[in-house]
Structure 1
Amino acid sequence: MDLNKQGIEYMQQGKYEEAAKCFSQAIEENPKDPIYYINFGNLLSAVGDPERAIAFFNKALELDEGMGTAYYGIGSLLYNQEDFFKAKDMFEKALKAGVDNSDTYFMLGMTLNQLGQPKLALPYMKRAVELNDNDVDALFQYGLCLAGESVIDEAIKTFNRVIELEPEHSDAYYNLGVAYAGFKNDYEKALDMFEKALEIQPDHMLAANGKKIVSEALSE
């Protein structure tokens, strides 16, 4: 097995020291190959060393500015550091470099949400879901984007898909309650959704408040 595959295998097993040795040796033997710097950057990200990880990703880009996974790696680290403007730039560069998978679209959508641009986030979340319709996080965030833009029928359909995949998703039930109460005026259905959210998560304050409001509306 070559050093690259061995290092990745060690990473997947959580054997980070062994992975580091493999990637270090690979870099020594192939100092001009950007993929080894990217793998070392991924390893450093995994062990919580973002500054050194970014340095390795940047070294990969010095060798080949078309290495989209390096842009994605930097973007993810910047997102975690809440540097959303720079993260957005990195995810856009990753897409341009051909890393057009569900994760990249999802992270760009999340970054735009953090920048207060949910309308711009919507098409990226939609694409993330199109590429992986089993990704609960992407589906849920797509549902929130749809609800935020008042595309309620599609939002309801999306939240129901979340529950289909993850039956204990209390936030999906809560948002269904909001959709039925606020847009469909179906208070009984909304009450049912809020109660299901509370069954799953008894301390869900938003669901408790929603239940209180629709219960009062039904009793009038």
Structure 2
Amino acid sequence: LIITIFYSTDNPLNKSAITVPQRAVSTFDQQDLSINMHILKWKVTLEMIKDKPLFGSGIGTFKINYLDYQADFLQKNPGYIKYSGKAAEAHNEYLQMLAELGIPGFLVFLSIIFVFYSLALKYLKNKHNNQNRLIVFGLLMGITCFLIHCLFTFPFHVPVLGSTFFIFLGLSVVYIGGFGLSKVDTKKNIRIKLNLNYLIKKIIIILMFIVGIFLIYTLVFKPYFAEIHYFKGIKYYEKGNYNDALKDFKHAVWLAPYNGRILHALGSTYYHLDIQDEAQETLQRTKYYFNDRNIFRNLGLSYKQSGNYQEAEKEFKQAIYLDPNFTKAYIDLAYLYATQEDYDKAIIEWNKILEIEPNFSEKYNVLYFIGLTYQKKQMPDKALEYFLEALQLTPEGSPIIEEIEKEIYNIYKDRLNK
């Protein structure tokens, strides 16, 4: 109660930007960016459920499938584009369970919760001493609050929170069972004896030990060391030391061959080292385990580098399909069209960047390239219009100023010569 009052009021000790009541009110603000992002995730998740209601898409596949379903949803509802983005969780555990497990799987979870509440309520209705009832009531309220919390976030996907929930659930059932519903006389417990000779028992123990070691090595140590090599590789990658990064990423992939993040990093490193065949093969494999707009963009860059413009265009468009606000992919696509001398398409892509981000940080660069493209189309007047606007927006000291001024000078010079 004291903690609730502390965080619910505006006082010197409460360093939070807003109080709990203010945060609660903001939950219903339809203009709030965070709320609309959550609504988009819920609507996209509902589309997943509609698509595979019976068995779902499989445990852990939400983050792999989300971008594809979101892209399809945005095609029909473009008003949500500004709220789009990646999502590893639905921010509603019940919707995500339905999407991944289907209706039967979700009903299994509900049945566990139903049995727990039935036991707890039955216990509270029976005549027990107040101390025990108070303990059970506290456990019941704690689990209820957790389940309500699941409506708006993803505690089951945070290992500490998820494991804590099921530990408390189990302890609650044990506590209830030990104080009234089903008292068990320990003297009457049935002892199960294995009628096996000593040698067979020994073999079973050894086999269990070997299997345990294998599982620990496969499920714990290999992924752990893969992550270590992955993060070492990332540090080299960020410094531009691609050869050393490649060694760590290759080792990480050997340890965790189905980790999409690591495969993506390996493929991107191959691209920077100009080993395009390996880059394309690795990035294509990444798609089976990981879904990210940058996979398609990097794959497009690799195809462009190797001269396969048709495949490059396909990958850039897929990146844009997954994220309609992905300005880098529009830039890459515009460059690709300009390289192919398809200037009209290039101009369309440049202009899309300015439509998406009117205050784009490098707007002057976009305007400059549009001007250059019009120059290629033999339209100097239109080019001059963009060059002049780019010159006004270019930061002082930028090396591009000299290039823009040179283009403007050449246009005026050609006019005088005519």
TM-score w.r.t. the length of structure 1 is: 0.72
1:88 Cα deviation after fit: 1.8
CA contact (8 A) 1:69 1:99 kept: yes
CA contact (8 A) 1:108 1:121 kept: yes
Q: Which moved more, 1:132-141 or 1:143-152?
A: 143-152
CA contact (8 A) 1:78 1:86 kept: yes
Q: Closer, same or farther in 2 for the Cα pair 1:72/1:218, shift >3 Å?
A: same
Partner of 2:368: 174
Partner of 1:151: 342
1:159 Cα deviation after fit: 0.7
Is 2:105 the partner of 1:105? no
For the residues of structure 2 that align with 1:87 and 1:99, how far apart are their CA atoms?
16
Overall identity of the aligned pairs, in %? 18
1:35 Cα deviation after fit: 5.0
Counterpart selection for 2:217 from 24, 31, 54: 31
Q: Closer, same or farther in 2 for the Cα pair 1:71/1:149, shift >3 Å?
A: same
Partner of 1:12: none
Partner of 1:24: none
Q: Which runs of 5+ in 1 are unaligned?
A: 4-28
Counterpart selection for 2:273 from 81, 84, 95: 81
Partner of 1:191: 384
Counterpart selection for 2:264 from 72, 90, 93: 72
Is 2:231 the partner of 1:43? yes
Kindly report structure 1 stretches of 4+ aligned residues shifted beyond 4 Å: 34-38
Counterpart selection for 1:117 from 297, 308, 325: 308
Aligned partner of 1:203: which letter? P
Q: Which moved more, 1:156-165 or 1:31-40?
A: 31-40
CA contact (8 A) 1:146 1:154 kept: yes
RMSD: 2.8
1:59 Cα deviation after fit: 1.4
For the residues of structure 1 that align with 2:269 and 2:229, how far apart are their CA atoms?
10
For the residues of structure 1 that align with 2:345 and 2:303, how far apart are their CA atoms?
21
Aligned residue pair count: 190
Aligned residue for 2:218, secondary structure, equals coil
Q: For residues 81-122 of structure 1, give each alpha carbon's deviation from its aligned partner in whole angstroms, at most 9, with x where no partner exists.
A: 333332122112223x25343111100011122223334311
Aligned partner of 1:218: which letter? R
Aligned partner of 2:251: which letter? A
Aligned partner of 1:59: which letter? L
Partner of 1:92: 284
Partner of 1:26: none
1:167 Cα deviation after fit: 4.9
For the residues of structure 1 that align with 2:382 and 2:330, how far apart are their CA atoms?
22
For the residues of structure 1 that align with 2:276 and 2:405, how far apart are their CA atoms?
32
Which of these two proteins has the greater Rg computed from alpha carbons? 2
Counterpart selection for 1:135 from 322, 326, 340: 326
Aligned partner of 1:122: which letter? E
Aligned partner of 2:415: which letter? L
Q: For residues 150-181 of structure 1, give each alpha carbon's deviation from its aligned partner in whole angstroms, at most 9, with x where no partner exists.
A: 43333212112223421533332222012222
1:182 Cα deviation after fit: 1.8
CA contact (8 A) 1:58 1:70 kept: no
For the residues of structure 2 that align with 1:132 and 1:70, how far apart are their CA atoms?
22
Aligned residue runs from structure 1 range 180-219, under 5 A: 180-183=374-377, 185-199=378-392, 200=394, 202-204=398-400, 205-219=402-416
Is 2:59 the partner of 1:59? no
Aligned residue for 1:99, secondary structure, equals coil
Aligned partner of 1:194: which letter? F
For the residues of structure 2 that align with 1:30 and 1:207, how far apart are their CA atoms?
62
CA contact (8 A) 1:37 1:57 kept: no
CA contact (8 A) 2:230 2:248 kept: no
For the residues of structure 2 that align with 1:130 and 1:194, how far apart are their CA atoms?
31
1:38 Cα deviation after fit: 5.0
